[in-house]
Structure 1
Amino acid sequence: MEEHLVDWSRAQFALTAMYHWIFVPLTLGLGFIVAIMETIYVKTNNEFWKKTTKFWMGLFAINFAIGVATGIIMEFEFGTNWANYSWFVGDIFGAPLAVEGILAFFMESTFFAVMFFGWEKVSKGFHLLSTWLVAIGSNLSALWILVANGWMQYPVGMTFNPDMVRNEMNNFWDVLLSPVAISKFLHTIGSGYVLASLFVIGVSAWYLLKKRDILFAKKSMIIGATFGLITSIFLILSGDESAHQVALKQPMKLAAMEGLYEGEEKVGIVAFGLLNPEKTITNDENTFLFDFTIPYALSFLSFHDINAYVPGIKDLVYGNEERGILSVEEKMQKGKIAIEALESYKEAKKTSNESLLNNSKILLDENMKYFGYGHIKNKEDVIPPVSITFYSFHIMVGLGTWFTILFALVLFLLTKKEILNYPIVLKSALFSIPLGYIASEAGWIVAEVGRQPWAIQDLMPVGIAATKIATTNVMISFFIFAILFTVLLIAEIKIMTKQIKIGPNGGH
């Protein structure tokens, strides 16, 4: 397939996904923060908390509405730009997306109307229930989408049907409860909670810097910082499990995340460092121009054992017989055997050759796990972009550490009633809002760029997954989407900032 077509199709999907993810994480976390605030209102019957809830709910609604538009476009792109992918695994991939649309999205959109428009029309209890159901529904939507994505990273619960040339689900629970899907879901929603907490404390800090709506800002900041600190700890724990799953299921991604070319025992984590741009798998250049490494940490993070061996990029490409690691060339050979066995199966089917049919089926089943490698042209093609993956991972981790410190510091100053005496902390909270988005996007870059060249890990490279359409059509739609999404983002920022400037008291 034309290389430019695949690149443009990937670029279009990346554009849509990254714009979509600007809107989603705030929805995931702010829904729960609003529900907590409304719960306090119902418990205390204090009008202050009703006013506070309605303010943050208004910002939630703006973000929710615009996020829906980008999400719908992204789902349609599976059919338009990735038709081969959709055919090959649509039976599996489509199931969680269908559940998301029928169950989760239906629930959150239905109760969203009650939450936003039903203040004086339904009882306090039912309105509170609606708010909680919107928050839960948003997170259930994320669950099903992340189950689908987790399956792409670690395909389970299916069998290959050679008659239809597609994979079919044989165990829904294996797909739903896949350890990769669960760890991905928990870590992703955790990042949404942290981002929403940053948003709340950042906006509240702006009010305090302007010396207006002081009580509102302090109360909101207490809830935001408390929620943020708790979910930051949750994010760290889920990140540990996520990294463990990557080490087990996607070792090449882990090697790229740490710039690890040579496999080692007792290997450390690079806390920060600068990659050598001259370094490749074929030379002996140093991997880093400089680095600061925490001893033993990568072995422990990966396998919960400080003495564990972590394979490097060279081990995974060239193989390591001592460690039981197959080379890419061996996997490519097995992949070609699987593809040839599939062709033999089809031919045997046409000629009703039962012996050839059975032998081909056995050969296909034995080598199916390497099917995608049969389409790989060069063994180095399985190495993801190391620099992008490495820097994205370290930006995500570094900023996540900063957010945890910030939440703890803000809470400490609030309890000491000294937050107004530290404008540097308030400014840091305000300017940490965009940093939250950067960290969240960096996490997705690690997840998706780090698994290249695979659309489905080991089963289908992106070059095979793409639809055969005119490159010009993809280019035109790319720029249309880029303009449309940018306009939506600018509109959201303008509406949000206008509402924030008006404030909880309507500008009074």
Structure 2
Amino acid sequence: MVSDYLQTVDWSRAQFALTAVYHWLFVPLTLGLSVLVAIMESCWVRTGDEFWRRTARFWMRLFGVNFAIGVATGLILEFEFGTNWSNYSYFVGDIFGAPLAIEGIMAFFLETTFIAVMFFGWDKVSRRVHLTATWLTAVGASLSAWWILVANAWMQYPVGCTFNLGSVRNEMTSFWEVAFSPVAVNKFFHTVASSFMLAALFVVGVSAWYLLRRREERMARQSIGVASVFGFVFALVTAFTGDRSGALVARVQPMKLAALEALYNGQTGAPLTVVGVLRPAGSRTADDPFYFGLGVPKLLSVMSFRDAQAYVPGIGDLLAGNPKQGILSAAEKMARGRVAVAELARYRAASEAGDRRTMAAVGRKFDPATSEGEEFLSEYFAYLGYGYLETPAQLVPNVPLLFYSFRVMVGAGVLFIVVLGVVWWLNRRNRLASKRWLLRTCVWMIPLAYLASQAGWVVTEAGRQPWAIQDLMPVGVAASKIPGASVSVTFFLFLALFTALFVAEVSILLRQIKIGPDAAGNSEPQKL
């Protein structure tokens, strides 16, 4: 039975990862391209130049293709919480369900309502009404992202809740604390800014393709002018919020940070490894994890704690403990977690037997209003999730995956800042079209942007393993008790479906790009 359930957990993780990866192929372009289209349409309304109307409609077509397929994958992703992760959904549904419900009722409703006017209202409403619908579609897309990212951030940093012993569920105590936790706010700005940057690189890359073929040169130059400035600004915002993310991770998810840096032994004034090649697991040691590595002295301490002499705990500290630094060992956390698990089992047994005296005794330990409860909740229940782990080694995520993914993300981000800045400068001086090597580089920035975006989510999600909810619920407990074979079948069905959708989208996008803006139509201008 145990091996069957472990198989279910593995397949459920694989299926959720598959759905999330495919869904995230569509979301960033939707977020950023909606804003760029709104900016271009604003240029049309302000100037009355039909060129901008034609340009906005062209990019809107590409946005529409991407939006439709993104919705399909997103709906499947949300349903998987109930089908594959029912234990998780029961345990924290009161909290996690709230932002998802708001996203569906408010943000997604706003987005899908005005998208109809955006696409079909060109010759049916005034310019200003149509522009308003376009901007509201863009706002709705970002609001959808906000509530989804709030839910995700809570899994990384659970706040604003309390445990109900009677229902054995976590329940929300502060909506505002959940919605505006520092992790949620920073995650939103970092994710949306990086999405805006990706969309800008997409527009620049497609426009560069037109310049290479000497087609639609005015549209290409003007689109590059808008997108390069837009992308450069948000590339800087991405870098700033990424730095802030590192500081937050250091405080709330230290194991993730240690794995990102392959830092096995904690250090005072820890260096940041810029590039490196890890040794295989069998030959990797805490003192020598790299074949070679190039680092910047003390930079990790500065980025993590804003102090060049700060101590950054390593994987070894977090497993074995470090009393000098106030770090509990994994074994101690697991022992405390098992005490909390045992108390829950004791309460359940007493409830079934009608033993009110025992129920009251256990209840006092879970009551934050009493000194006994305050101590138990902070010293034992805070480590509840550790009580379900079998070995401390389970706390270590996939170090090579995180180490290399993080460097792909950061390295590509630095390259994007440089490329967007250079492209903007040359385009402004009307010298970009002659730099054919740079135009080809811009085209290749499109797949690199998607790779960097996916690497960012690998860092976020793989880095918090083994937790479904940081410190409270490991994934091994969160999964539904359904046959692993059932999940494996749907995994391959989804794989085939998502691959078909992805191929269809790419094919349609390439066809529309090849056709060019003429297919957008050239109806008569509207009156204000």
Over residues 309-338 of structure 1, what are the superposed CA-to-partner deviations in whole Å (9 max), with x where a residue is unaligned? 100000001110000000111100110000
Alpha-carbon separation, structure 2, partners of 1:177 and 1:209: 46
Deviates more, 1:175-184 or 1:439-448: 175-184
Determine whether 1:176 maps to 2:179: yes
Alpha-carbon separation, structure 2, partners of 1:205 and 1:268: 39
Match of 1:421, SS state, is coil
Match of 2:429 in 1: 416
Match of 2:23 in 1: 20
Aligned-pair CA distance for 1:184: 1.0
Determine whether 1:311 maps to 2:301: no
Match of 1:60 in 2: 63
Match for residue 237 of structure 1 among 232, 237, 240:
240
Alpha-carbon separation, structure 1, partners of 2:23 and 2:411: 23
1:463 counterpart letter in structure 2: G
Identity of aligned residues (%): 52
Aligned-pair CA distance for 1:349: 3.3
Determine whether 1:262 maps to 2:262: no
How high is the TM-score relative to the length of structure 1?
0.98
Contact 2:114–2:136 under 8 Å retained in 1: yes
Alpha-carbon separation, structure 2, partners of 1:325 and 1:193: 39
Contact 1:341–1:361 under 8 Å retained in 2: no
1:14 counterpart letter in structure 2: A
How high is the TM-score relative to the length of structure 2?
0.94
Match for residue 160 of structure 1 among 158, 163, 166:
163
Alpha-carbon separation, structure 2, partners of 1:405 and 1:293: 22
**1:293-442 correspondence to structure 2 within 5 Å:** 293-364=295-366, 365=373, 366=376, 367-442=380-455
Match of 2:485 in 1: 472
Aligned-pair CA distance for 1:180: 0.9
Contact 1:337–1:363 under 8 Å retained in 2: no
Aligned-pair CA distance for 1:505: 2.6
Match for residue 196 of structure 2 among 189, 193, 197:
193
Contact 1:373–1:458 under 8 Å retained in 2: yes
Aligned-pair CA distance for 1:279: 5.8
Determine whether 1:505 maps to 2:508: no
Contact 1:13–1:77 under 8 Å retained in 2: yes
Match of 1:419, SS state, is coil
**1:287-298 correspondence to structure 2 within 5 Å:** 287-298=289-300
Match of 2:370 in 1: none
For the structure 1 residues 369 and 159, does the alpha-carbon distance in structure 2 shift closer, same or farther, using more than 3 Å as the test? same
Over residues 371-407 of structure 1, what are the superposed CA-to-partner deviations in whole Å (9 max), with x where a residue is unaligned? 1000000011100111101111110000001000000
Aligned-pair CA distance for 1:92: 0.5
Alpha-carbon separation, structure 2, partners of 1:213 and 1:414: 15
Match of 1:271, SS state, is strand
Unaligned runs of 5+ in 2: 367-372, 522-528
Match of 2:106 in 1: 103
Match of 1:120, SS state, is coil
Contact 2:58–2:520 under 8 Å retained in 1: no
Contact 2:269–2:301 under 8 Å retained in 1: yes
Contact 1:345–1:360 under 8 Å retained in 2: yes
2:206 counterpart letter in structure 1: V
Aligned-pair CA distance for 1:296: 1.3
Determine whether 1:113 maps to 2:122: no
| Bigger RCO of structures 1 and 2 (CA < 8 A, at least 6 apart) | 2
Alpha-carbon separation, structure 2, partners of 1:165 and 1:219: 58
Contact 1:338–1:374 under 8 Å retained in 2: yes
Contact 1:338–1:363 under 8 Å retained in 2: no
Match of 2:170, SS state, is strand
For the structure 1 residues 280 and 352, does the alpha-carbon distance in structure 2 shift closer, same or farther, using more than 3 Å as the test? farther
Over residues 5-48 of structure 1, what are the superposed CA-to-partner deviations in whole Å (9 max), with x where a residue is unaligned? 11111000000000000000000101110010011110000000
Aligned length: 507
Aligned-pair CA distance for 1:195: 0.5
Determine whether 1:74 maps to 2:87: no
2:358 counterpart letter in structure 1: L
Over residues 445-486 of structure 1, what are the superposed CA-to-partner deviations in whole Å (9 max), with x where a residue is unaligned? 000000000000001110110111111111110000000000
**1:45-56 correspondence to structure 2 within 5 Å:** 45-56=48-59
Aligned-pair CA distance for 1:200: 0.3
Alpha-carbon separation, structure 1, partners of 2:286 and 2:27: 43
Aligned-pair CA distance for 1:268: 1.3
Unaligned runs of 5+ in 1: none
Alpha-carbon separation, structure 1, partners of 2:120 and 2:160: 42
C-alpha RMSD over aligned residues:
1.4
1:330 counterpart letter in structure 2: E
Alpha-carbon separation, structure 2, partners of 1:344 and 1:249: 30
